[in-house]
Amino acid sequence: MPIARRASPGTRLTRRARLPNYIGARVEEIGARLCNHCYTSPVTVAACLHWLSTCRDAFIFEDSVEDSPLRHELTHEKMQARNGWITVPDRPSLGVTLNEEFIRGYLVGIFFSGGRAPEYIRDDKDLIRITLVHFFEMNKPVASVCHGVEIPARAGCVKGRRMATVPKCQFDLEVCGGTFVNEPCVVDGNLVSARTYHDHGHYVGKWIALLKEARAAFEKAKH
């Protein structure tokens, strides 16, 4: 298990990172050491490294040697440990650059989860472009739950669509031309939506079915 040996200059925790901040403070309070458990892609690796670099008692970084496209091709940078060490990216933001060609050819669907994150990231130009061009315009599977609607709404993708969302986001949906439906699962073409995490048992199956169909079509087109 490699150790993060260099903190990124100017790394800060904002109000968007309250939970990690709380965890770090709690670890320090009880005198424990911190080890993350999130290594699914170079993006999450970079995010974890930035967070761990701000925590005084974070000494261990859990890495993965899984051989998968997401591990090696999602970003142009290779986030790998060398001789037991892994370096925190020191460029702006997370310090990694997405491989657009890989994204266009590999990703078959997108899921917009809830919480406060959509409110903060919905004005990101790359996210809006990917949402519109890679998923809605190409009719790929899209799922949204709770506050997740704020992203496709901001991207101009909900006009004329029927969607479920948390009631407090009903206005966001309707002001952008969508129709609010107060049901645990709403399927409108390639779009699956639900109100909150309490509806997981109702909509996840529909979402997975769309993903399987899209994946099968993708593999067939490759051959």
**pLDDT tens digits for range 94-143:** 888 888 888 777 778 899 999 888 988 898 888 898 888 888 998 999 99
110: left (phi over 0), alpha (psi -120 to 50) or beta: beta
Structural domain boundaries, residue 47? 3-86
- Do 58 and 161 have their domain in common? no
Which residues have CB under 8 Å from 178's CB, separation 6+?
149, 153, 158, 159, 160, 161, 162, 163
Among candidate residues 37, 57, 86, the one where a domain is terminated:
86
Residues 7-57: tens digit of each pLDDT: 333 333 334 446 666 776 777 788 777 776 666 788 888 887 887 777 776
- Do 74 and 137 have their domain in common? no
The total number of structural domains in the chain stands at: 2
Would you name the residues annotated as active-site residues?
A: 147
- Do 55 and 144 have their domain in common? no
What pTM did the predictor assign? 0.62
- Do 116 and 169 have their domain in common? yes
Among candidate residues 55, 86, 117, the one where a domain is terminated:
86
126: CATH = 3.40.50.880
